[in-house]
Copies of this chain bind each other. A is one copy, B any other.
């Protein structure tokens, strides 16, 4: 091997205060595991000696504890994009200590190439192996790595010996040219290959190689399906079966995008147990343990993803079954989430909402409009281009204190123009064809919890009637305001607020 072998500490010395640093991976899988923590340790030493030391981290999506955790604990993060999901970083962001820019995941790579973020000083990339001519066999996610390898001035490689040889062939690395030279992305089915099994880096840019031996698949397992999530899953399944019966969905079905978490899990579970849903493909950004089950049972014929977000157990199982390896491909997030492909192949998108409003607007990211939960992630990429866009949430949270259906969302990630269907444990609100007021009635009757229906109806009655959309500026956010003051949205008293403001 022509590359110098470095310790993580030696590699971290190349990273200076204020640098733009790209990291491999997408969600925890595929992220570097040693060098970011060494950068955090360096930051602590610099801070102790009274020097400034912070970096800007550009990732595929969320990362792992050695990256977002260690760096935020060390106060070493200045800027962070495009997504995160780690409690500790979240707290730093909400405290205003880290500049976080919440971006559509399909767009960061091209925006970096366009020059919107300046230069990338260094990229840190986990791989299974690297050849002397710069061919990289990546790990358990792709993310923005292929673009970081192009744009970064220098590259640090982590070779993780826990990554098996048999990962070869699971990646499809394709980076589009930029306008005006861009061509079509040659993907017409979830299983199509557009690129190469390896990524490439100019060997001259490689500062060195850090050897690691870090376990894979440290994604936590989700809690089992419960009554509420089971009901949501069944409602989605019933809806899709009816779409097929009505001829609005091809009998061969269409590729599914499904997010992470308990609700996505319950939906996949319901699809698996349906007699009427045929075996289907997935075109998605993450595959969790439930997808492994679907691949094994044959209910999922093929999964195109950006990341293998399996638990350790599922990861070991996948790698022990080579017969599954031609049923899965990992792509760069620019491709897994690409509007061109999503619209062309007709992806059915399913994402979780924090809250939805009467006019179909969705908040995916900010609790009460202020506190970042995770971020918009890929939900905008998929929703905006889906064949049918579906949002999922329980109708109530924290016992009955929070209604996920509100008069007006406190933050908009997806506008009603792009949202077809809202599913809760209460039922399915179908917003297609309807005007905003018809949509509001549909949402109250089919998605809202019965406890909140009278309040939601009262809100509509208190709106001025001279508009295409109903709204009363004085009480549009009263659910949130009341929750903030009393901890219970049920205590919302519209009449009292209007009286006070009269």
A positions within 8 Å CB-CB of B: 79, 93-96, 99-104, 111, 114-117, 178-180, 182-186, 188-189, 246-248, 250, 252, 254, 339-340, 343-346, 361, 366, 368-372, 376, 380, 384-385, 387, 410-415, 417-418, 432-435, 437-438, 463-471, 473-474, 476-478, 480-481, 484, 497, 500-501
A179 lies within 8 A of B387 (CB)? yes
- Residue contact B369 to A469, C-beta cutoff 8 Å: yes
Instruction: Classify the secondary structure of A's interface with B.
Output: loop
| Cβ B412 vs Cβ A361 within 8 A | yes
CB of A471 within 8 A of CB of B410, answer yes
Residues of chain B with a CB closer than 8 A to A247's CB: 115
Whether B346 lies near A182 (C-beta < 8 A) is yes
Given known A-B contacts A339-B385, A340-B340, A418-B104, A370 and B250 have beta carbons under 8 A apart:
no
**Does the CB pair B180–A252 fall under 8 Å?**
yes
Closest chain-B Cβ to A337's Cβ sits at a distance in Å of 12
A470 and B370 form a contact (CB under 8 A): yes
Is A471 touching B369 in the complex (CB atoms < 8 A)? yes
Please name all residues of chain B whose beta carbon is closer than 8 Å to the beta carbon of A465 when the two chains form the complex: 96
CA of A4 to CA of B40, assembled, Å:
81
10 contacts between A and B (CB under 8 A): A99-B434, A100-B468, A114-B387, A115-B246, A182-B344, A183-B188, A340-B340, A366-B468, A415-B415, A477-B477
With contacts A473-B480, A481-B473 taken as known, whether A183 is within 8 angstroms of B344 at the C-beta atoms is yes
- Would you call A380 and B417 a contact (CB within 8 A)? yes
Query: Most B CB atoms within 10 A — which of A79, A95, A415?
Result: A415
> If A116-B248, A248-B114 touch, does A466 touch B95 (CB 8 Å cutoff)?
yes
Q: Are B101 and A435 in contact (CB under 8 A)?
A: yes
Q: Closest 3 interchain pairs by CB? A: A179-B346, A370-B467, A184-B184
Chain B residues, Cβ within 8 Å of A481 = 473-474, 501
B-side contacts of A339, CB under 8 Å: 339-340, 343, 384-385
- Which of A100, A247, A384: most chain B CB closer than 10 A? A384
Closest to A254 in B: B179
Beta-carbon contact of B184 and A189 below 8 Å: no
A370 near B418: Cβ-Cβ < 8 Å: no
A99 engages B179 (CB within 8 Å): no
For the complex, what is the distance from the CA of A492 to the CA of B402, rounded to whole Å? 30
Least CB separation from A438: chain B residue: B99
A501: contacting residue among B376, B471, B500, CB under 8 A: B500
Contact A370 B480, beta carbon cutoff 8 Å:
no
Give the nearest-CB partner of A190 in chain B.
B180
State the Cβ distance, A407 to closest chain B Cβ, in Å: 11
Residue of B nearest to A468 (CB): B372
Q: A94-B467, A411-B471, A474-B477 are in contact. List 8 more A-B contacts (CB 8 A).
A: A100-B435, A180-B345, A369-B471, A369-B476, A370-B469, A372-B468, A372-B469, A474-B481
